Structure 1
């Protein structure tokens, strides 16, 4: 199929080379492909399915698998039956309208309508805020950088908070570099090579852990952030500061007070971007961040448990107006985004992007929107109660596990919604009194996801490492609460017992796997070879 993700376009911008065997008779014919196949296209290599398991790099399937418990929303989730059916209905509706009015036009109109639906679900002003869709949170970071460069100028420094607890692609996107061997639009790239018109950008990473592996205090993070931004501005540079709303382990930083001071001291010289890709924040907070003039990066595929990958950049009114007047952005962005990803009213800017529909990204967002709708229908008190109850359950299960040690859960300050309590529960595993390394935890994570003769498969959040030269001396696995858990419990109070039982079974399986040296040793060796 010649959809984005299978269409191979040389990075020099010349005419794409398409395998004749994959060239369809008409673009509409692509929509007749199996839904599973469509949901797994239009992304970078991370979305590709393993031929043997039919799962992507995160162990997730493009088809519902309700028999596999999922506690992996901090990484990625398998699509739910609810989301899958929504994607199927959306595909059928587009087919019907496209045969009457044209595929590209109908697709563009549907994505624009989705933009309005997402604004409504997030409680945002339909006319003030704008949304740019992307195929992942990593791609959203590229959009944020491109916008910051266009508005602030080429002498830009990107400052990335919690650089040791964000996505691995951030080390590349923060510098305007290709983060993989293939873009969402199917462009062959060299990882680490500059994106046309964007990279390389000077970038500074601010770590949450010090050189000894200890979590730094919020005041230390604030002080370093202010010092680095002030120094960069004093040297004549402009700054894009990417703050962390919720890291892989649930941390935030710098503080809201620090961000407010930076915005007040250096208006027009510093653009603040909030990495909220975990989506573990309420609508009021999103609105407040936008009101301060910050860009917000979001996904439908983390907390909301939509299928990976689906990203978005939320732009406040001031930035939306400024971006809408730009004639173009970095030309290399056309490798990653299509015309429909941009609001229809930005006609001049849209013209630089390919008109071909990205069916995979669209369908994944259709599924994610269905999850967000279902979540929005749950009363706020129920959400808070379920997060508290499940959180207590998960913490208790981890504490009861002989080999597990719960990391201190994070309680974000000043939040009165369900996210005032933690939804990510990270824990280390210990053998002979020593914490397991990143390679060992990856091996256990893979064994748990694949299942064994004696143990059913289960998805946990991928391990996060720290310590040592390569942040791999120690690692933590993650047991996560997602919107899907809350939706299910609201629909059936008995679902909580089933969810807790599944989590208990996962912890018991990890204990059993730890007692099988061949599993951890052999798989750790494989992980070391791969990574």
Structure 2
């Protein structure tokens, strides 16, 4: 009898009483389904699972997928076992009679503050990093009290919806609390000219990185132009782009904030969360707003974001009012209780449970990562960097996007943009999809293993895939070190996964024909 048939027989045979284990398993099925449903709720179409594959558009399932290789944290990754257990336990607690729902959201904010902030810092929870842009714009409008010039660094390397969100417009056709919105239209309560977006390119037309001096100078000019025409300036400082670039410098941002006074604000985009927690605290101490997410480097499920507001700015937001259209994206418990009066313009949902559960999963990894000794964290990232260099060097069809930096031994990093066949766009997309395919007619069965990397980014006519490291991987290595392994030995399973990924990547590159299609006649080694 098959397992399925045996389960059916057990269910219908009333003469046989279920064992405690059978009862537990039956109860776990609906509970797991409920959790999976909740983890994909409270977000827009990007998070919705395909009805057949049960994965979102980034290939991430609602449950852990430990049999697959995940180097895709710049885009999205599957929820980890640690995170899934944390979300499961949180949902079970919330399902109990007398559960304190507002208190749960307060506790989530307190945990984020404990890791990234300081006393007095306020934490606004958001359904994604793009929604954090809306929250930042609402804060900027309240503080600057004039039309805004939202100065965004490398919008093409941050998020596809950022350029629209930065103007206060709907960035997709759906929203967390509205099944249909008009993409490109301003949120109700915000006029189209209330916020304009000014972009600072982080690369030149050929995709080469601009110098730090160029970026600083461009930022100064953009702020000056905004102030000259009577707008307030909301200047983004990009901590880490999709390809690991940053700018303008914090030093220049501090100088501009000091000189412009209450006519400008600095917003640090740390949504990748690849900087040190101490650096985020320093940004908050400097009076900067900071955007983060738990769904990139932190390894939480997509999507969960937050805006951190420093104490001096929070103290000036007593008369903050959120526009009516903000109800499509935010719930009351997303914001600290001190901002309760901000929701008077419309009827807002009380809570976004799905986003809260995604933060539970992310915080489980963040708190574990924070407990790793700093020297060990640095050692693990250095091992990842060296392994990445060796794997790319071993594949003649692959190279780093910013090869002049990485070939010369740039500092350890957690994102590596990699091009195939000089960055051919069609081939990059094909390889990206083929890496995720569970088969592929490989001679070596091991190459059929599903592998995930960061989705293609188009820069200067070339497309790069991204090899990414994340907190869950560091946590796994640190756990093996705690069991008595030396760091090199503890890192070995991760290195073996990386080497398998690059063997599959190289095999696919060799099979690509001149027209970008897989050559069926070719075989991989």
Aligned match for 1:157, one of 109, 134, 149:
149
Q: Secondary structure, in 3 states, of the residue corresponding to 2:98?
A: helix
Q: Does 1:121 align with 2:115?
A: yes
Corresponding position of 1:86: 86
1:58 to partner: Cα distance: 0.9
Is the CA contact (8 Å cut-off) linking 1:383 and 1:486 kept in structure 2? yes
Corresponding position of 2:10: none
Distance of 1:407 and 1:518 partners within structure 2: 22
Q: Does 1:171 align with 2:167?
A: no
- 1:78 to 1:157, Cα distance in 2 relative to 1, 3 A: same
Q: Secondary structure, in 3 states, of the residue corresponding to 1:267?
A: helix
Corresponding position of 1:474: 462
Tell me the TM-score normalized by structure 1: 0.84
Aligned counterparts, 1:162-201, within 5 A: 162-200=154-192, 201=195
Corresponding position of 1:499: 494
Aligned counterparts, 1:208-247, within 5 A: 208-247=202-241
Q: Secondary structure, in 3 states, of the residue corresponding to 1:55?
A: coil
Aligned match for 2:304, one of 307, 310, 314:
310
Greater CA radius of gyration, 1 or 2?
2
Corresponding position of 2:123: 131
Distance of 1:254 and 1:133 partners within structure 2: 26
Is the CA contact (8 Å cut-off) linking 1:410 and 1:421 kept in structure 2? no
Corresponding position of 2:252: 258
Corresponding position of 2:289: 295
Q: Does 1:35 align with 2:35?
A: yes
- 1:84 to 1:256, Cα distance in 2 relative to 1, 3 A: same
Q: What is the count of residue pairs matched by the alignment?
A: 470
- RMSD of aligned C-alpha atoms? 2.2
Aligned match for 2:133, one of 120, 129, 141:
141
Corresponding position of 1:71: 71
Distance of 2:221 and 2:320 partners within structure 1: 35
Aligned match for 2:335, one of 325, 329, 342:
342
Is the CA contact (8 Å cut-off) linking 1:395 and 1:425 kept in structure 2? no
Q: Secondary structure, in 3 states, of the residue corresponding to 1:289?
A: helix
1:199 to partner: Cα distance: 4.6
- 1:72 to 1:283, Cα distance in 2 relative to 1, 3 A: same
- 1:343 to 1:398, Cα distance in 2 relative to 1, 3 A: same
Corresponding position of 2:98: 100
1:186 to partner: Cα distance: 2.7
Is the CA contact (8 Å cut-off) linking 2:208 and 2:402 kept in structure 1? no
Corresponding position of 2:323: 330
Is the CA contact (8 Å cut-off) linking 2:108 and 2:356 kept in structure 1? no
Deviation digits for residues 260-313 of structure 1, max 9, x if unmatched? 221111010111101100001112111110111110000011111111100000
Q: Does 1:457 align with 2:450?
A: yes
Deviation digits for residues 127-159 of structure 1, max 9, x if unmatched? x10000001000001110111112212421111
Aligned match for 1:425, one of 416, 433, 441:
416
Is the CA contact (8 Å cut-off) linking 1:424 and 1:480 kept in structure 2? yes
Distance of 1:398 and 1:32 partners within structure 2: 40
Distance of 1:83 and 1:475 partners within structure 2: 32
Is the CA contact (8 Å cut-off) linking 2:330 and 2:349 kept in structure 1? no
1:449 to partner: Cα distance: 1.3
Q: Gaps spanning 5+ residues in structure 2: where? A: 1-29, 443-447, 519-525
Q: Does 1:356 align with 2:343?
A: no
Deviation digits for residues 389-439 of structure 1, max 9, x if unmatched? 111111111111111112348999xxxxxx973111111111xxx4311x3
Aligned counterparts, 1:350-429, within 5 A: 350-351=343-344, 352=346, 354-408=348-402, 421-429=412-420
1:66 to partner: Cα distance: 0.3
Tell me the TM-score normalized by structure 2: 0.85
Q: Gaps spanning 5+ residues in structure 1: where? A: 1-29, 413-418, 468-472, 524-531
1:519 to partner: Cα distance: 12
Distance of 1:327 and 1:302 partners within structure 2: 30
